[in-house]
Chains A and B, each alone.
Chain A
Amino acid sequence: MAIIEIKDLSYTYPGEQEPILKHLTASFPAKEWTTIIGRNGSGKSTLARLIDGLLPIGHGQIMVAGTPVDGEHVDLVHQKIGFVFQNPENQFVGTTVEDDVAFGLENHRVPRDEMRYRIQQALNDVSMAEYAQTEPAMLSGGQKQRVAIAGILCLRPEILIFDEATSMLDPQARQNILGLLRKLKIEKGFTIIAISHDPVEAAAGDNVAILNQGQLVAFDRKEQILANTDLLQKYGLAVPFTEKLKQQLRGQGMQVPKEYMTEEQMVKWLSQQ
């Protein structure tokens, strides 16, 4: 079941000649984690913003969980989609952690008594409850992104969009956030759309879509796409470490499995040889 349907979508930024998205048609399956990868300027972020109604749709149509994305329904779309941006600093609205989480609830006119409960719950979900009174200046980038996630979780969305949300974090914090997303996806059944230029991050999800020059050039299970080194290289994307290793092993004349393996799976497989 597709939760997001995109039909013949084109978009040109005001003042630009060349459209950034060209007749893009795609559908994203519900309760699955799809990573959109692509080079800089391939239109990934624009696509994410269009889905959330943050940019006016130029040409084409987007349906989010049965609601058309247009000026009339944009509030409803914002309610269904939780959006986490790249820079942890520039999406922190509140003066303290709990104020920031409360921001979205205040916008949606949630009564105060309910707010307290929902904030507590959301902060527990991202393990930030003990920082409720902390000011943003005291938090690390990873912690700020956790707060941003709490801020959208408490609005009870169906879909979470992460626009390079881990790209400004150190590797440890990135792994923590990806682990948190996996947990949330399983426990709460969210549909996740992550934008990234890093195929390793795509390994955390279920599906991978490749965007190139405003067009969708591949959409498949991650095992298929990440193991397809030719495809990744064709569109200027980094090949995951495990695939590089497999290539070298193959060069040495070793028999290696064709499907994509995570680093742990690779270690396990190697130690069985």
Chain B
Amino acid sequence: MNNKVIFGLYVPTNSFIHRLDPRMKFIACFWYVILVFFANNVWTNIWLGLILLLLIHLSRVSLKMYWSGIRPLMWVIIITALVQLFFSTGGHVYWQWHFLSLTSSGIIQSIYLVLRFAYIITISTILTVTTPTLQLADAVESLMKPLKYLRVPVNQIAMMLSIALRFIPTIMGEVTTIMNAQRARGMDFSTGNLYQRTRKLVPVMIPLFVSSFKRAEELAVAMESRGYNPNGERTKYRLLIWRRADSWSIVALVLVTVVLIALKLL
């Protein structure tokens, strides 16, 4: 259970995409999401879908993983699509009842909407299955660097992020221990309605908070004894290396964008 959390959805298949620089993957993912919002006709949507299929193929991760990314959000997608379907106007009207109507443009719009959702979820799944969480954190830190000029404490934020990641399994283990301790005292976490079950978590959260504060204090002293100075300049051990493949990927990204614009103007 602990490992699942720390690795996120990461699937180590060591594919071409896995070996790319996380910064590049991060930018590319972000850019793709922007492109998704520009796609407003059949051809642009097909084009983005093809790109996605190519990336899925390159990642050498099974389709099941991608499906498991979409599944939890299925209901959100369906409900939003239904709203879009019955509330939009324009085009040929097939059916009407009070304020609800089924129109040709509504059908098309809701199909695009479903695709949009699916594309965005899948591209972020590609990012998380091919990039370890730690590298993602490094990428975020590296990409935030320019914010230093706006006096954003980038180093401290990065340190916080990395410590948070490191302590997730520890805290998860602690939750299990506290819950077992409460069970041993007769607590039953598995019955009752949502409200009752939530209330039962209070005697778990309070000891958890107390021990987390204690941990934080000890960790802070340990960090200080090893010379940590939050405002000081530090060198960095883990390096992100920008390779030629990353530069080519950026070129590919530009090409994808150019083709998309061309298809849009078609």
Q: Tell me the smallest distance from the CB of B114 to a CB of chain A, in Å.
A: 38
A2-10, A57-65, A96-104: which lies at the B interface? A96-104
Q: Tell me the smallest distance from the CB of A222 to a CB of chain B, in Å.
A: 26
Residue contact B235 to A111, C-beta cutoff 8 Å:
yes
Known contacts A79-B227, A92-B166, A93-B163, A99 near B222 by CB under 8 Å:
no
Which residues of B sit under 8 angstroms from A119, Cβ to Cβ? 237
Known contacts A79-B227, A107-B227, A152-B226, A93 near B219 by CB under 8 Å:
yes
B2 on the A face (CB < 8 A): yes
In the bound assembly, the distance between CA atoms of A178 and B45 in angstroms comes to: 66
Residue contact B224 to A106, C-beta cutoff 8 Å:
no
Residue contact B228 to A54, C-beta cutoff 8 Å:
no
Q: Mark B183-216, 1 if CB is under 8 A from A, else 0.
A: 0000000000000000000000000000000010
B165 on the A face (CB < 8 A): yes
Which residues of B sit under 8 angstroms from A125, Cβ to Cβ? none
Q: Tell me the smallest distance from the CB of A181 to a CB of chain B, in Å.
A: 18
Known contacts A99-B238, A109-B233, A137-B6, A83 near B225 by CB under 8 Å:
yes
- The B-contacting residues of A in range 83-134, CB under 8 angstroms, are 83, 85, 87, 89-96, 98-99, 102-112, 115-116, 119
Residue contact B224 to A95, C-beta cutoff 8 Å:
no
Name A55's closest neighbour in chain B (CB-CB): B221
- The B-contacting residues of A in range 237-252, CB under 8 angstroms, are none
In the bound assembly, the distance between CA atoms of A115 and B226 in angstroms comes to: 15
In the bound assembly, the distance between CA atoms of A49 and B222 in angstroms comes to: 11
| Contact residues of B: prevailing secondary structure | helix
| B interface residues, how many (CB within 8 angstroms) | 31
Which residues of A sit under 8 angstroms from B236, Cβ to Cβ? 106, 112
**Cross-interface CB contact of A137 among B169, B215, B224, B238, cutoff 8 Å:** B169
Residue contact A105 to B165, C-beta cutoff 8 Å:
no
Residue contact B134 to A95, C-beta cutoff 8 Å:
yes
Known contacts A106-B235, A151-B226, A90 near B134 by CB under 8 Å:
no
B232 on the A face (CB < 8 A): yes
| A interface residues, how many (CB within 8 angstroms) | 40
Name A92's closest neighbour in chain B (CB-CB): B166
Which residues of A sit under 8 angstroms from B2, Cβ to Cβ? 137
A164 on the B face (CB < 8 A): no
Known contacts A112-B235, A112-B236, A137 near B221 by CB under 8 Å:
no
Name B165's closest neighbour in chain A (CB-CB): A95
Residue contact A95 to B166, C-beta cutoff 8 Å:
yes
In the bound assembly, the distance between CA atoms of A109 and B165 in angstroms comes to: 23
A38 on the B face (CB < 8 A): no
Residue contact A94 to B166, C-beta cutoff 8 Å:
yes
Which residues of A sit under 8 angstroms from B233, Cβ to Cβ? 109
Top 9 A-B residue pairs of the complex, sorted by shortest distance between their CB atoms: A102-B237, A91-B222, A107-B227, A90-B218, A137-B169, A104-B226, A83-B225, A106-B234, A95-B166
Sample (29) of A-B pairs whose CB atoms are under 8 Å apart: A49-B221, A52-B225, A54-B224, A75-B227, A78-B226, A79-B227, A85-B218, A87-B218, A89-B215, A90-B219, A91-B218, A93-B163, A95-B162, A96-B134, A99-B238, A102-B237, A105-B235, A105-B237, A106-B237, A107-B227, A107-B229, A107-B234, A109-B233, A109-B234, A110-B235, A111-B235, A112-B235, A112-B237, A119-B237
Q: A54-B225, A95-B134, A107-B228 are in contact. List 8 more A-B contacts (CB 8 A).
A: A83-B226, A91-B222, A93-B226, A95-B165, A96-B134, A106-B236, A109-B235, A116-B237
Residues of A within 8 A of B (CB): 49, 52, 54, 75, 78-79, 81, 83, 85, 87, 89-96, 98-99, 102-112, 115-116, 119, 135-137, 151-152, 155
Residues of B within 8 A of A (CB): 2-3, 6, 134, 162-163, 165-166, 169-170, 173, 215, 218-219, 221-229, 232-239
